[in-house]
Structure 1
Amino acid sequence: MPPPHERGQPPSRRRMLALPAVCPCEAIAPAPLLASLLSLAADAAAGSRLGALPALRGAAREAVRIAGLLLAFLEAVRDAASDDGAPLPEAAVLGLSELHVALQKLRLLLADCGRKGARLWVLMNAETAASELRVVMGSVATAVEVLPEGVAAASDEARELAGMVSAHAWRAAARLRPDLEDGRAARGVRSVLARFAGGATPDAEDARHVLARVGAATWSGCAEEAAFLEAEMLERLETGGEDDNDLVLIAGLLAFLLYCRVVLFDRIDDSDNKAAAVARPAARCAAWINPEALQCPITLELMTDPVTVATGQTYDRASIKKWIKSGCRTCPVTGERLRSAELVPNAAARGIIEQLLLSRGVVPPHEPSGKHRCAVDRTASPFGAAAAGGARLAAAFLVARLSRGAPEQQRKASYEARKLSKRNVFYRACLVEAGAVPWLLHLLSSADATVQDNAVAGLLNLSKHPAGRAALVEAGGVGLIVDAVNVAGRVEARQNAAAVLFYLSSNPEYCEEISRIPEAIPTLVGLARDGAYRGRKNALVSLYGLLQCADAHGRAVSAGAVAALAGLLLGSAAVGGGGSEGDDLAVDAVALLARLAEQPAGARAVAASSELVTRLVDFLGESASRSAREHCASLLAALGRHGGDRVLALLGKLPALMPALYALIADGTPQAVRKARWLVNEIHQHYEQRHPPAAPPATGDHRIIRV
């Protein structure tokens, strides 16, 4: 069975300080090219966004000033052409095209330098950015000089402005450099990274000076910078072809920011900073948000990745994709035929959902793709000694706060541990090595629901690491996790606790320890029966893992697992509508029933419900998943093997069974084919040999087909 449900993928984006530009078509007319240039120059000359630049402040202001001169020159050329009524000469296309490419790069460069969240990265790449800026200024100067005389001197004003643009651009191309303060701040960062590499604690004042320079002197500012660097690293790992030196620098800067966030700030946010100002509207908005309006119409669960289809209706991406993939090309709400399968992200709905979750103290989920998970796996080793040293220092500090901190400090430390362990395997190892697991287990009994939620989520992340699972079991935490599934204060915490049991169940020894706890299996069965989708999913996969322990079968049957799974399977039939999450749970339910039926007690419990057996036959015929049909065939074969003649007689009376079995024999997997053939032959033998007809048929038209 698959691991707990994970979906989604962060969108790809242009890499920072990469300046792609499209050269205009050679056949383009000068007039539209000039109009496009005017738009580009106006955009570059709008320097209001440069007030918070972390680096290159003087150089960027000079570039903006030259862009303003260039805009004035282009406007003069346009006005002169309009007054004369004569079109621009075709010979102007070459120079204007070169100018167009240069302005595209200038606009991208200025946007990168002013990008919020990327300030530290820009500071450390100030020399590269300045070099690109000098090249762009040289290109602007050259392009203006090669313009035909009729364009450059279209009027006296144009001639004067052309000379000014050329002179100032050449001078900027020769002298633009990072500011002196940029160099001091960058050296301060390198000093901190050097101390990280040596395992020494850096000077807090050096770190504060750097944060003040880049405008990230608050916890939220550090978090924003760290989020950008983390996304930058994972994207480079996903796409491949990364520069090792860049990865070492990114990892070192990320460790620097995490250390600052953990050590320098006592609270997640102060009341007077920007993040708190954002949090207050988030809390206020929760009062007027109707959560039901944010539920996916298909699953009736809160959407995590809302997208809009051609009819204007919004659904969760995973749900509508399953709907479309199942062959339904109509809108589930309106019934209209979908003209296109395109799914447009609904950013407004996503923002409202994130605010709603934050107002409830829940971190909005980041649901990675397969490539993203591979990228996370590649962070098992640190990129450089500085990243390793900084992560170890931050982890040690967090564990000290978890163990000896005041309640407010423990609350912050639990949140930091949750974030630190989320998308970096090495950080998980550092936290386990520092002894975070026993203290997170201790916080499961906290009266603060937020602390409890953070502790469970942190343990879930650490349980993905082999050393984390071992530390959790050695600390006697299995029983505490089971209790959290049952009595945790928040639904998300109970769901995450069930997922911890799934990761523990990957080890047979841990399975036995979990199954020996009397409440473990009944608790998971109860969550599978009564929980929300994610809780049910996690409970099902956890139970599936536990059933590799033979003793767990009897406990699961006694706990009512068959009835709970039958409810999921029969419920999916009652709801109908392919592509829903109910179908996903039904597939997992069949797989789990198949594993239960491997033992006689489980098979008898399943066969006791003729309604369930009938539904299994229908499921075999209607399921589009080959694995689901294989599980179903294994389950029916186990019923026939352990249930004897009574079950075979029941199966033989179901008209939908034989066509489904023959279809599976035609295109199923080798294992499924073997099960289907055995079941067909057993049913035939039951009616032929063990229970022959009272009288032979009148004609020889009826024959038994052996398979």
Structure 2
Amino acid sequence: MGVSPRVFPPRKRRPSAGAFISPKLSGRKLVQSLYVLSQEISSLKPPEFLLKRNSVFIIRKAKLLAVLFEELLGNRVSAFSSSSLLCFEEMYIVLQRMKMLIEDCWNGSRMWLLLQIEMVANSFREVTMNLSTLLDILRLKELELSQDVEDVAVLIRKQCSSRSKSFSLDPRDGDLRLKVLTMLDEIKREIVPDHSKLNLIFQSLGLRDALSCREEIESLEAEIQNQNDQKSKHLIVALIGLVRYSKCVLFGESSQKSDAIRLRRKKSASEANVPADFRCPISLELMKDPVVVATGQTYDRESINVWIESGHNTCPKTGQTLAHTNLIPNSSLKNLIAMWCREQRIPFEYESSNEKVNGVITNKAALEATKMTASFLVNKLSTSQSVQAANDIVYELRVLAKSDSDSRACIAEAGAIPLLGRYLGSDVGSDLPNLQINAVTTILNLSILEANKTRIMETDDTLNGVIEVLRSGATWEAKGNAAATIFSLSGVHAHRKRLGRKTRVIMGLMDLAKNGPTSSKRDALVAILNLAGDRETVARLVEGGIVEMISEVVNVLPEVSVTILEAVVRRGGLAATAQAYNLIKKLGFLLREGSDTTRESAAATLVTICRRGGSAMVSELAVMPGIERIIWELLETGTSRARRKAATILRVLRRWAAGLDVCTSSVISTTTMSSSTVLLPS
């Protein structure tokens, strides 16, 4: 008979024994606390699958101890001896440890508990032995107990003493542990596991459907953050690979609907109040892999890589030239972010831990399990007969592609990219919108891996399918994820030029930026920003009406809008400047009301407009009410780059007022952009 799935909180790191010591209590209050604690243990349900025998033994002893403490409370003993009080204090610590042991058998990952079962079982033996010792030194005659209760205390002591001496691991638990380790070894040697043996293991652990397996994977992912030892982390990642593979071959794909219901119980980073120090200064999103650049500033690796690959050699936050482009991992901050995510119940992507030492992969079991899972799903997708079945498989690939780089590589190597292209057409979107969303999102997740960007670009049907979704996707979500895919692919310079030559890409992004909801607008704008790094593409953007489009969306997403305008004006010449004529007032307003990043980009854009457009543009700026006061405020409160640009604007306005040439090179100098807003594919 199966059991209903349960959602378990991640196992918490066990505190030291000293953490259990409460403030000094009077003898009676201490006994009251012991009575309550023993009742709490008595009410616990023994785990059904692992260490059941040990847990049952402790629960029974707690029930008997409750009788002892209840009698002590009823006796109205005036005072306890110091030795008795010391015994009770130590007993409180032992009972707390007993309670935590049983809760640990319920909470967290069953697979990890199984592999640690000898250590945990030894902890059961230790607390049993400690309880026996305390009862042995407790002077029962001083407690004025009835003979029956005194006999109960003696019985508990004898049973604990006997159990601690003759303690042995339950043979069934030990045998199950050996089977799992053997299975991992077979996978490491590229031997496909016997499905009947897999099923027996998972049934024994109570993992009897896709949902319970998904929850087990999440528990293992949370357990990684509890580990300091690299070997333990590698073993947990291998277990995750085993559970993923087993879930697919034994129970099929997860139901997207059930996953959606389950995930509502979790927070996302966007719903939580993310501390400012945990956000990337470029993307403003929660950092998953924080790194430090040469200036000492910290950014998310994905964001700063895109910034550097786009040709910038400055620090986005400070504007300083980078002495080098080496990225140093900020491990301390990453650990803090991981701990915060675990406390907030926010998923946090873990490292694959598939490292190479002397050319040999140290976690081959995890890698081979991932390969087997990807191959199984891709083969199943290639023979899928129904649209609904294909949707379930593609959704499973989407989840797998989001997990880590090894999974993205294995899915692509198994041949998924051409197959996914089949489900991007408008006919699919009209029949089953979720299938189109899942397919384009899977491609988006795959594109995070550098090698996969080239694979996607070289698969014409898939690339054209992504562009078709961008232009005519069934939902805004599908269009937004197609735009995010374009952004990801354009991180490579050669791909950026090729995508920028496609009119359908330009028009699709422009339409989405103008007409989509805010989240989709942002996806489109950051893709446009990336494409604007190529001068030829800027000309096409200008022809397509980029400046007019920016004027429509600048009030909704000012930071990225103004940064795009800055890039376009810098690379577009007078044609762009002439069209920017009507934006000067909006830029002046943003100088006063925008964020630091927006004010900085607005000031830089105005400098370029004045340089390219000459006196006509300067005169439009000069007649704005209060413009000099706004510039002076920026000189006092802006970033270092914003202050430099504000000073340049002020000199230009004064030369214009004096009737002098405003375009003298000594007055206006060009500098590189100092910040942009970048979308991390999700």
TM-score range normalised by the length of the shorter chain? 0.7 to 0.9
Correspondence for 2:71 among 55, 71, 76:
76
Instruction: Report the alpha carbon displacement of residue 209 of structure 1 after superposing the two structures with TM.
Output: 0.6
Aligned to 2:535: 550
TM superposition score normalised by structure 2: 0.78
How many residue pairs match? The answer is 581
Cα deviations across residues 388-434 of structure 1 (Å, max 9, x unaligned)? 11111111112212222232542232122111111212111211222
Separation (CA, whole Å) in 1 of partners of 2:223 and 2:266: 22
Aligned to 2:34: 37
Relative to structure 1, the CA distance from residue 175 to residue 673 in structure 2 (aligned partners, 3 Å threshold; closer, same or farther) is same
Separation (CA, whole Å) in 2 of partners of 1:589 and 1:511: 19
Aligned to 2:193, the other structure's residue is in SS state coil
Aligned to 1:674: 644
Cα deviations across residues 287-335 of structure 1 (Å, max 9, x unaligned)? xxxxxxxxxxxxxxx999499xxxxxxx94459999xxxxxxxxxxxxx
Correspondence for 1:622 among 593, 597, 602:
593
Aligned to 1:461: 445
Task: Tell me, yes or no, if structure 1 residue 449 matches structure 2 residue 462.
Answer: no
1:600 maps to a residue whose letter is: G
Correspondence for 1:516 among 501, 508, 517:
501
Aligned to 1:495: 480
Contact 1:504 1:510 (C-alpha < 8 Å) held by counterparts: yes
Aligned to 1:206: 197
2:383 maps to a residue whose letter is: R
Separation (CA, whole Å) in 2 of partners of 1:691 and 1:188: 83
Contact 2:381 2:393 (C-alpha < 8 Å) held by counterparts: yes
Instruction: Report the alpha carbon displacement of residue 636 of structure 1 after superposing the two structures with TM.
Output: 0.8
Cα deviations across residues 126-159 of structure 1 (Å, max 9, x unaligned)? 2111111111112222233333446654333432
Task: Tell me, yes or no, if structure 1 residue 215 matches structure 2 residue 194.
Answer: no
Aligned to 1:631: 601
Instruction: Report the alpha carbon displacement of residue 468 of structure 1 after superposing the two structures with TM.
Output: 1.4
Task: Tell me, yes or no, if structure 1 residue 586 matches structure 2 residue 558.
Answer: yes
Which 10-residue stretch deviates more, 598-607 or 196-205? 598-607
1:160 maps to a residue whose letter is: D
Identity of aligned residues (%): 23
Contact 1:596 1:603 (C-alpha < 8 Å) held by counterparts: yes
Task: Tell me, yes or no, if structure 1 residue 608 matches structure 2 residue 581.
Answer: yes
Relative to structure 1, the CA distance from residue 265 to residue 12 in structure 2 (aligned partners, 3 Å threshold; closer, same or farther) is closer
Separation (CA, whole Å) in 2 of partners of 1:670 and 1:321: 20
1:396 maps to a residue whose letter is: S
Contact 1:55 1:123 (C-alpha < 8 Å) held by counterparts: yes
Aligned to 2:169, the other structure's residue is in SS state coil
1:122-271 correspondence to structure 2 within 5 Å: 122-149=113-140, 152-233=143-224, 235-236=225-226, 242-268=228-254
Aligned to 2:400: 420
Separation (CA, whole Å) in 1 of partners of 2:569 and 2:350: 37
Aligned to 1:358: none
Contact 2:484 2:527 (C-alpha < 8 Å) held by counterparts: yes
Which 10-residue stretch deviates more, 154-163 or 505-514? 154-163
Correspondence for 2:612 among 617, 635, 642:
642
Instruction: Report the alpha carbon displacement of residue 61 of structure 1 after superposing the two structures with TM.
Output: 1.0
Aligned to 2:104: 112
Instruction: Report the alpha carbon displacement of residue 450 of structure 1 after superposing the two structures with TM.
Output: 2.3
Which 10-residue stretch deviates more, 519-528 or 373-382? 373-382
Contact 2:213 2:244 (C-alpha < 8 Å) held by counterparts: yes
Relative to structure 1, the CA distance from residue 100 to residue 209 in structure 2 (aligned partners, 3 Å threshold; closer, same or farther) is same
List gaps (5 residues or longer) in structure 1. 1-10, 270-274, 284-301, 308-314, 323-367, 571-581, 693-704
Aligned to 1:395: 374
Cα deviations across residues 102-145 of structure 1 (Å, max 9, x unaligned)? 11111111011123x62222222221111111111122222333
Relative to structure 1, the CA distance from residue 439 to residue 306 in structure 2 (aligned partners, 3 Å threshold; closer, same or farther) is closer
Contact 1:544 1:592 (C-alpha < 8 Å) held by counterparts: yes
Contact 1:529 1:536 (C-alpha < 8 Å) held by counterparts: yes
Aligned to 2:89: 97
Instruction: Report the alpha carbon displacement of residue 589 of structure 1 after superposing the two structures with TM.
Output: 1.1
2:441 maps to a residue whose letter is: A
Aligned to 1:596: 568
TM superposition score normalised by structure 1: 0.75
Aligned to 2:310: none
Relative to structure 1, the CA distance from residue 263 to residue 487 in structure 2 (aligned partners, 3 Å threshold; closer, same or farther) is same
Aligned to 1:54: 49
Separation (CA, whole Å) in 2 of partners of 1:497 and 1:318: 28
Aligned to 1:444, the other structure's residue is in SS state coil
Separation (CA, whole Å) in 2 of partners of 1:263 and 1:415: 15
1:5-44 correspondence to structure 2 within 5 Å: 14-15=11-12, 22-25=19-22, 27-44=24-41
Separation (CA, whole Å) in 2 of partners of 1:123 and 1:397: 27
Which 10-residue stretch deviates more, 591-600 or 670-679? 670-679
Instruction: Report the alpha carbon displacement of residue 454 of structure 1 after superposing the two structures with TM.
Output: 1.5
Cα deviations across residues 224-261 of structure 1 (Å, max 9, x unaligned)? 2112112222x24xxxx621221122112111111111
1:515 maps to a residue whose letter is: G
Relative to structure 1, the CA distance from residue 597 to residue 165 in structure 2 (aligned partners, 3 Å threshold; closer, same or farther) is same
